[in-house]
Structure 1
Amino acid sequence: MSDNYRMCLYGKENVKLEQGCPTPSPSYGEIQVRIHTVGICGTDIHMWQSGELGGAGIKFPIVMGHEATGSISCVGGGVTKLRVGDRVALEAIIACRQCHGCLSGKYNICQDRNILGTERNGFQQKFVVVPERNCHILPVSIPLDTGVLLEPLSVTVHACERGQVAIGDVVVISGSGSVGLLQMQTVKAAGAQVVYITDILPERLALAASLGADHTLDVSNMDSKEVARRVEKTLGKKADVTFECVGNDQSIATSIYATRSGGRVVIVGVPSGISRVPVDDAVLKEIDIITTLGYKDSFPKAISLLEQGKVKVAGLITDRYGLGDIDKAYRHVRSGAGIKSVMSLE
């Protein structure tokens, strides 16, 4: 295909491959990128399946995809740090850089932010245009296809910083999907002494163990208190920090019960609607419940973790798809199979 093309979501489970689309041109301070690989995540599946996000309707049609790598194909005026041919990973957050959140260094909570792939057209298209600051050069040691995991890795880097993980900490992680497995490796790189990770799928726990988890637990058919008791019995103590990487009430409850007095619970997963969790237990133990959203200035740190080999991502990519396989890919991910699915746009 020589023309620009894109995959547009027109409604529930209605994605169409469109060809002959206009090719966007970069304005001052912008970069045009030819997309190579796009990651598929739970947000994409939710949008595709329900036609909404965060309780709000989606303005159709929209090009999804917020995890991507590619090569620079054109630069606009005023661009000083990048050039045509550079291989880059892309940030999806477009921030105003003028509101209180931005001026305080937290552009991830920009009052006027737009997230590419959820609120504006994203990366499931041949060419995209983004601000120069949204592009991060990939070292030669990071391939384009595995570099696509830098976006979710940046999420776990930010969560690790929010949780203030310190050398010697005992950490418990709920969920060993792609985010949980990245979170496990991130806290290890930050100095966590022991990491205990849980899930309901034995194959994911086996992968977690191979990537460095000290303890794993299949929590199928267990309630939150039982999981916390099992974790404490194994560790001999409760966790200093827990990371909730699933986004459901039972997992949040487990994280609270498994955390020591004065410890920290970091909610990385995104719950749906109003949650019913044991806040009384958190209050009686004076636990800090910390939320986290996206990332801020986290890509350079994520790149460093990959370059140094402190985080391994190649084994997390279990399924690869090409153009025209989008419905098959989404149905596969919705089924819960595999760890991480990616799509090539080449």
Structure 2
Amino acid sequence: MYEVDFLPVEATDGEPSTRNGDAITIHFTEDATGTERVVVIDAGFEAVGDDVVEHVTRYYGTSHVDLAISTHPDRDHIEGMRTVVEKLDVAELMVHCPKLHASPRDVQQHFRDIAAVDDLIRSANAHGTRVAEPFTGESRFGGQLTILGPAEGLYETLLAEHLGEERAGTMTRATAIAAGGLRDLFRSVAAWSRPAETLAEDVETSARKETSVVTLIRCDGQRLLFTGDAGLRGLGAAADRYESLLGPFESVPITLFQVPHHGDRHNLSPAVLDRLLGHRGQPHTPTLAVASSADDDPKHPSPMVANALSRRGATLVATEGEPVWSNHGAPPRAG
């Protein structure tokens, strides 16, 4: 049995918001022992942490979390995790510790949101939660949960790139957002108006987002892949690990695929999707693809990503202000 809940994450002050985030809860039965396990992957903005706590206690009937994973330290993923650690009984927290992999002074000066990482680790230590780093090869629950990436070496490379980018400040964020917004607008129109592939091969994801933890959970013969905000480098390395463990994707396909970075067009390419899900008209298996996206965000999930997924037989579902529940063998829920 398993059930996966993608909670809606939107940072608002009572007004419509385009700010996306991730908060995922997972409840499954360990194959070898029959023990029920609870995992939380990211917990959205600060206010969402209470939603995660209420959801776990209400729907899973417990205040115990076996494992919490912080995929990367962007606010829309990490802020709510401190509330989860403080209000639930969390046995273990997996989170990258940048100060262990670069100059602590450099990290303190140039790593955005390092205070959120430090506060989360301090809170975990204060509440008796074991802390570990999520690198390739780590596994839990008899191997049912496996960290596919990043490897420690790749993480350190990406961390150095991120710190270098922050020091250099080569392009203001405001300029980048404005330019990207116009490009996305024109490309979105093209994606809806053409049946052809519109997703590009040469997309780039920031080094910071590429550090995202990629997690595989196997249960009841199903394979669930959680990707955070990973891009082509992170997903490619994770795919290599997947195939070294299980074999080619066409033989052991993905059942559930978390669309990375809320369905952003900078995180996926046709080649990566061909590998993970299958070629156009030749899907490895029917796949449920889930994107955590704000209801008022017109760019996420990107129409180009939606088009590319549908061409490969995937059913795309976006949260857009509502929770998404996927299950196999779980008791039905009212409503």
TM-score norm. by structure 2 comes to 0.29
Q: Give the structure with the larger helix fraction.
A: 2
Q: Give the structure with the larger strand fraction.
A: 1
Report the structure number with the largest CA radius of gyration: 1
TM-score norm. by structure 1 comes to 0.29
